[in-house]
Structure 1
Amino acid sequence: MKKRILLIAGLLLVMTVLTGCMEYDQAITSESEGFWNQYIVYPLSWLIIKMADLLWDSYGLAIIAVTLLIRFAILPLMIKQTKSSKAMQAIQPELKELQGKYSSKDQKTQQKLQQETMALFQKHGVNPLAGCMPILIQMPILIGFYHAIVRTREIAGHTFLWFDLGFPDPFFILPVVAGVTTFLQQKIMMVGMPDNPQMKMMLWMMPIMIVVFAVTLPSALSLYWVIGNVFSIVQTYFIKGPDLKKAPQVATATGKAGGAKKK
């Protein structure tokens, strides 16, 4: 799990560099050059503008609508990622058994462990890389939409509800909601997963980071984060429904077992 977290962090860093973070302050137009601008950022910016035209010139509603469209478009990838994660969790006891069986560090033993591990994956039809592929596909889209929101100058001149889309929320309501929904989204994703210190640390670090960023960045981005998080919470609830229902029962049973041991 630690290696996977490091891999995801590395991918985020690479994608941030490769997706033109140096152009963050440059307006996106049809004249913008480069593959990233022409085929990812500008089409998303154009979609926001056209959606605003359809929604009574409301760029707030346009951001919500495009966020939902993107989330629905990548929903099959998220379902595949969740299923892959659940499959890997299901074979964890057998993986740990193999690791205990071949605990020696010599080369022959480690080769045997790799062979047995691959055989286990094939037996259960599990692809250890399947959980990473959806992330690789999603990241350019999500980062591109982030750029489109920031670099579409038309957004900055509009208001939505109580805030100006081009400026931070003066009442800090959106940053707090963004942080809370980020926490809930991660918390619900962790249901049914084995305890992991790194994951628990991320559970608290990510919401704090989101709040810090949201306090200083345009409210349009905070709106995007809030809608995306709410969609992810609902999506995860339906995908992991059985696991979420079992979680309270497992926690209660564990608590009773702990109490019985103390007696």
Structure 2
Amino acid sequence: MKKRIALIMTIVGLLAVLSGCTEINVPITAESEGIWNKYFVYPLSWLIVYFAELLGNSYGLSIIVVTIIIRLVILPLMIKQTQNSKAMQAIQPEMQALRAKYASKDQKTQQKLQQETMALFQKHGVNPLAGCFPLFIQMPILIGFYHAIMRTQEIANHNFLWFDLGDKDPFFILPLIAGATTFLQQKMSMAGMDDNPQMKMMLYIMPIMIIVFAVSFPAALSLYWVVGNIFMIVQTYFIKSPVKIEAKNTGGAKK
């Protein structure tokens, strides 16, 4: 669990680093050079402009539509990640029993604990790292979309609802909604793991980080976060229960 949290924090740090790339203030066009620009950022920028033109030149609606499209594209990865997370939750009692059985810190005992833990994973068909792989696949897409929003000049010149897409939300409504939906989405995803201190820490740190970022960046990015979070909340709601039932049934069948 600690390794997974460290991995998530590393990815968040990577996002922060990439967010500050020198090209972030350079407009994206069809002539932009580099693999990152040509195959990630520009296609997403083009998609935003395309849907904006279809929707009466509304770049706010276009960001919403493209966000949903991207989330649908990576949905299979997120389902796999959620399923693995729930399977890990289902075997937590057995893992805790192993830790209690091999509580000694000597090297031989710890080696035995690792062997028994791996055997437990194989028994239930669980890969502790499988939930992390989708993060590596989806992050370039999400970071590319972030760059597309920040570097598409047309977005900065339009408004949506009460805010200008190229400026910060004057009333801080979107940043607060982004933080609240991040908290709710994580709370739903972490159901059953609330007693884990590291997970509790992530539950509160991530929303705060999102609010800080959202307050500092243009409202278009906050809109993207809000829509993405709402999609994730709905996705988690519909995926969570069936997977939990399946995990319980599987565990019961093997006993």
Q: Give me the TM-score of the superposition, normalised by structure 2.
A: 0.89
TM-fit CA distance, 1:112? 2.4
Secondary structure of 1:24 counterpart? helix
Q: Which residue of 1 aligns with 2:215?
A: 215
Deviation at 1:195, TM superposition (A): 1.1
Q: Is the 2:163–2:170 contact (alpha carbons within 8 Å) kept by the matching residues of 1?
A: yes
Q: Identity of aligned pairs, percent?
A: 73
Name the structure, 1 or 2, with higher relative contact order (CA <8 Å, separation 6+).
2
For 1:131-210, what aligned pairs fall within 5 Å after superposition? Answer: 131-210=131-210
The two structures, once aligned, show a CA RMSD in angstroms of 2.1
> Match for residue 28 of structure 2?
28
What are the equivalent positions in structure 2 for 1:61-140 lying under 5 Å apart? 61-140=61-140
Distance across 2 between alignment mates of 1:228 and 1:119: 37
Query: Is 1:237–2:237 an aligned residue pair?
Result: yes
The answer as to whether partners of 1:20 and 1:36 remain within 8 angstroms in 2 is no
Q: How many residues align?
A: 245
User: Residues 172 and 17 (structure 1 numbering): CA distance in 2 closer, same or farther, change over 3 Å?
Assistant: closer
Contact 1:191 1:243 in 2 (8 A): no
Equivalent position amino acid for 1:128 in 2: P
Q: Which residue of 1 aligns with 2:9?
A: 9
Of 205-214 and 13-22, deviating more is 13-22
| Structure 2: runs of 5 or more not aligned | 245-255
Report the AA paired with residue 146 of structure 2.
Answer: Y
Q: Which runs of 5+ in 1 are unaligned?
A: 245-263
Q: Name the structure 2 match of 1:247.
A: none
TM superposition shift of 1:78: 0.9
Cα distance change on mapping 1:18 and 1:183 into 2, 3 Å: closer
Matched to 2:152, the amino acid is T
Report the Cα distance in structure 1 between the residues aligned to 2:18 and 2:176, rounded to whole angstroms. 30
**Amino acid across the alignment from 1:94:** E
Are residue 40 (structure 1) and residue 59 (structure 2) matched?
no
Whole-angstrom distance in 2 between the partners of 1:15 and 1:172? 22
- 1:10-43 deviations in Å (ceiling 9; x for gaps): 1332455468722111111112122111111111
